[in-house]
Every structure is written in structure tokens, then in C-alpha cells.
Amino acid sequence: MIRPLEGIRVVNIAINLPGPLAAYRLGQFGAEVLKIEPPSGDPLKAACPAYYEHLSGGQETVVLDLKSDGDRSTLDEFLATADLLLTAQRTGALQRLGLDWETLHRRFPTLCHAALVAFPAPQEERPGHDLNFQALSGLIEPPHIPRTLVADLGAAEQLVSAALALFLGRARTGEAGYAAVSIAEAGESFAMPVHYGLTVEGPLSGALPAYGLYRAKEGYVALAALEAHFLKRLMEAYDLMVVSHEALEALFLTRTAGEWETWALEENLPLVAVRDPFSGTPTP
């Protein structure tokens, strides 16, 4: 993998998921990441130790109490040689710690700052978590809890993009910069296919027979033959005169999901077996 950020030093004081995930991704690009954790630790470690260890891989972790003058001075020593500070604290908390952008830029003029905030201005102090952001974006179907953390994961990737843009801007102008990424807005951006109807009424809503889920002899298959040449190949292989939900339902019941996936690999068709998220095997 290309590692264009080798030589870049990142200090991350964000805990939970989106900030550490962004730091991990920057590390994949070659950045040297130092994670600062509070004495109470990162809540992600208690909630999901394996995921925490995955995201912490290749990083140095230092425990500091940033409300302590001595530990706060230690952080300043790290920032003096860093290229980027990642934060996920509320604006008011950063100001109390002297880590707001104006103070940072005055003290460390070459340091960039990428900040995760829950909501955009003027609601920077409003608290929230992924469940709140997905609910606001219309991505939840009560009473079901979302299967994954769309807003958090999306915000992490947007934070990485913001950091890369800051590095590019500094390289071009010589000036360090600041960028704020709102997790609520990230959730909203991932809800756009729903809001515009693409996945509700449009071609990706299941209305098209060639794009949907079908029960197999065992398990389910996910077919996404949107392009005409894929659909033609499927029709020719099984002498289908017309493609309908009913015709495909009858066809896929003749083999197991695993057998269909093997066949699709041989035929270069976009069809896979639906897998269990824990075992990775086709669902029964």
C-alpha cells in the first residue's frame, strides 16, 4: 500500500469510535500516530476490546490527565513536533484546555487541527451519538437498532479527507489550517440515497428484479445485475424468456446460496451469498 504520509506526526486525543478510526486510517497511509487517553481509558476498550485493539495497532498510547498542569505541559511537548491534532471534544471543553484553534495556531503555527463535532454551528455544544444521528437522518426503522454505525464510520472517513486537505493546503501555502467535521452532517450525507429515493422508489429499492435478495435452497443470494450484459448472461444461462421476481425466485430455489456464488464467480456475475456478520458464512 502507498504510504504517502510517512514522516507526518499525528496526535489524537479523541476516544470512542470515529476519532480513533480516523487516526487508524491515517496510520495506514504511513502517519506516525500518538494516542492520548484519559486516566479512565477509552470507553471503546471496555465496550469492544477486540475492535479497540484493531484500531490501536501500530500506535503509541500515552495516558495523560489533560486537566493536570503537568500532563497538559506534556501534551504541549508532543504538539510542538506534530503535524496534526485530532479531537472529538466539544468546543467549550477544548477552549477550557487551551486547545481551541486560535490558541493552538498562535502557539503552534505549523500544526493543523481536524476536529470532530457532534453538530455543526451554532449547535457545537449539543451532545449526540450515532443512534441520534441516524435517527435524525431517517436511517432507522423502529424498533430495530441499526446494524452498524453509519454516521460514526462516515464521519471518520470525512475526517481523514479533511486532514489530507489540510496537509495539501499547508504544503501549497505554508499555512496550517483547521477543519471541523460534523457527525450529524456525515449521517445526513449517507442518508442522501434514501432522501432522493434511489433506494426507496428508484432502481436500488428492490423494485427491479435484477437487483434484490432471493431465497435459495439454503440461505439467500444478493443479485445486483443492473447492467444489461450481466442480465443477458443470466437469461441465456437459464433460458429465461423474461426476468421477473417470480422467475428468479423459482430459479434460485434450485441451488444453495453457496453454490450460486460459486457459479457466479465462474460466470463473472455480480451475485453473492448473504453472509452471517459473525461467522462470515452464508446465512441459513
pLDDT tens-place string over residues 205-220: 999 999 999 999 999 9
The domain 9-194: what is its CATH number? 3.40.50.10540
Res. 55: pLDDT tops 90? yes
List for the chain the helix, strand, coil content (%; round to 5).
Answer: 45, 15, 40
DSSP label at residue 83: S
The pLDDT, as a whole number, for residue 282 is 86
Backbone angles phi, psi at 9, to 5 degrees: -110, 130
Strands 112-117 and 178-182: parallel
- Collapsing DSSP states into helix, strand and coil, what is residue 20? helix
The mean pLDDT of the chain is: 96
The pLDDT, as a whole number, for residue 170 is 98
Q: Over the stretch 67-92, which tens digit does the pLDDT of each residue have?
A: 999 999 999 999 999 999 999 999 99
259's enclosing H/E stretch is: helix 257-267
Taking CA 162 as the corner, what is the angle to CA 38 and CA 52, rounded to the nearest 5 degrees? 35
Q: Over the stretch 91-150, which tens digit does the pLDDT of each residue have?
A: 999 999 999 999 999 999 999 999 999 999 999 899 999 999 999 999 999 999 999 999
Q: Kindly report whether the global pTM for this prediction surpasses the value 0.75.
A: yes
Q: Over the stretch 183-205, which tens digit does the pLDDT of each residue have?
A: 999 999 999 999 999 999 888 99
The pLDDT, as a whole number, for residue 25 is 97
Tell me which amino acid residue 228 is. Answer: A
Percentage of the residues of the chain whose pLDDT score is greater than 70: 100
Closest CA to 12 of 107, 112, 124: 112
Res. 162: pLDDT tops 90? yes
The answer to whether 277 touches 147, Cβ cutoff 8 Å, is yes
279's enclosing H/E stretch is: none
Q: Which three cell numbers stand for residue 7?
A: 514522516
Domain definitions of the chain by residue range: 9-194, 211-273
The pLDDT, as a whole number, for residue 86 is 98
The pLDDT, as a whole number, for residue 193 is 95
Res. 1: pLDDT tops 70? no
